[in-house]
Amino acid sequence: MDWVSRVAATAFLCSVPQLSFSADSGLITKESKHSVSETAQRFESAVNDKSANGWMVFTEIDHAAAAEKNGLKLRPRTVIVYGNPKIGTANMQKAPTVAIDVPLKALVWEDDQGKVWLTYNSAEYIQDYVYPRHGLPSNPAAAKATGSVLADFAQKATD
- Domain assignment of residue 154, yes or no: yes
Assigned domain for 153 exists = yes
Within-domain flag for 64 = yes
User: pTM of this prediction?
Assistant: 0.84
pLDDT digits (tens, 9 = 90+) for 6-37: 444 444 444 444 444 445 689 999 999 999 99
* Phi and psi torsions of 108, nearest 5°: -110, 125
Number of domains in the chain: 1
35 located within any domain: yes
**Cβ of 158: how many Cβ atoms within 10 Å?**
18
What mean pLDDT do residues 44-56 have?
97
Nearby residues of 10 by Cβ (< 8 Å), 6 or more positions away: none
pLDDT at 82 over 90: yes
CATH of the domain at 63: 3.30.310.70
The vertex-107 CA angle with 87 and 12, nearest 5°, equals 145
> For residue 44, what pLDDT band results from cuts at 50, 70 and 90?
very high
Q: Residue 6 falls within a domain, yes or no?
A: no
Contact 22, 125 (CB under 8 A): no
Query: Rounded to whole angstroms, how far apart are CA atoms 126 and 137?
Result: 11
**What residues contact residue 44 under an 8 Å CB cut-off, 6+ apart?**
57, 60, 80, 82
Asked whether residue 147 is domain-assigned, the answer is: yes
Q: Is 147 helix (H, G, I), strand (E, B) or coil?
A: helix
User: In Å, how far from its chain's centre is CA 23?
Assistant: 16
Domain-embedded: residue 45: yes
Residues 102-156: pLDDT tens digits?
999 999 999 999 999 999 999 999 999 999 999 999 999 999 999 999 999 999 9
152 within a domain of the structure (yes/no): yes
Question: What totals of helices (H) and strands (E) does the chain contain, helices first?
Answer: 7, 5
- The pLDDT of residue 24 is 65
Domain encompassing residue 89 = 20-158
